[in-house]
Amino acid sequence: MKESIMAIDATFWVGVSFILFFAVLIYLKVPQKINEILNKLITDIKNEIDESEKLRTEAKTLLDGSRAKLETAQEDRKKIIEQAKKESENLIIELNNKFHKSSEIKKNLAENKIFQMKEAAIKEIKDNSIRLAIQSVKKIISTSIDKSKLDSIFQKNLEESKAAIKKIKS
């Protein structure tokens, strides 16, 4: 029994000290302070969660804005590339047309120059032929025919030559 009394005594004193411990905690308002600390921690955590949610929303908004700007930039890039292609094609066509027009003008100028040179050569040949023919006729007439016949033939040939020259010029 003595052992059971001691066991009761030890158990009793453990129970008493346990109750006294909780009484001191309640007297010193430790549970309220713990509760306040926990409530403050909960409030701080809620504030941090709210702040992080706010930051996440802002980040999402910025991300969406950046994506929209990127898409717009890509569309603008495509438009600029398309415009540059069209302008380069138009420039190539324009330069090609200018080259062909320039070639055509040079060809026409060359053809006109050749035609003028040909006409000048033909005229010179005709003039020389007429001059040579007149000189030949003069020599033949002066050596073989008398002066009266010569004057009549000369006048006749002169008028025929004038008529021939008029036909050639027109």
Task: Say how far apart CA 49 and CA 144 lie, in whole Å.
Answer: 139
- What is the rounded average pLDDT of the residues 14-23? 86
- Of all residues in the chain, the percent with pLDDT exceeding 90 is 44
Q: What residue spans define the domains of the chain?
A: 2-169
What local confidence, expressed as pLDDT, does residue 32 receive?
Answer: 82
What local confidence, expressed as pLDDT, does residue 46 receive?
Answer: 95
What local confidence, expressed as pLDDT, does residue 146 receive?
Answer: 64
Output the CA torsion sign for 111, 117, 118, 119.
Answer: positive
What local confidence, expressed as pLDDT, does residue 79 receive?
Answer: 93
What local confidence, expressed as pLDDT, does residue 139 receive?
Answer: 76
pLDDT tens readout for residues 118-135: 888 888 888 878 888 887
With 0.85 as the threshold, say if the pTM is over it. no
Q: Is the pLDDT of residue 4 over 60?
A: no
Whether 21 and 31 have beta carbons less than 8 Å apart is answered as no
pLDDT tens readout for residues 88-114: 999 999 999 999 999 999 999 999 999
- Sequence-distant contacts of 99-106: CB under 8 A, at least 24 apart: none
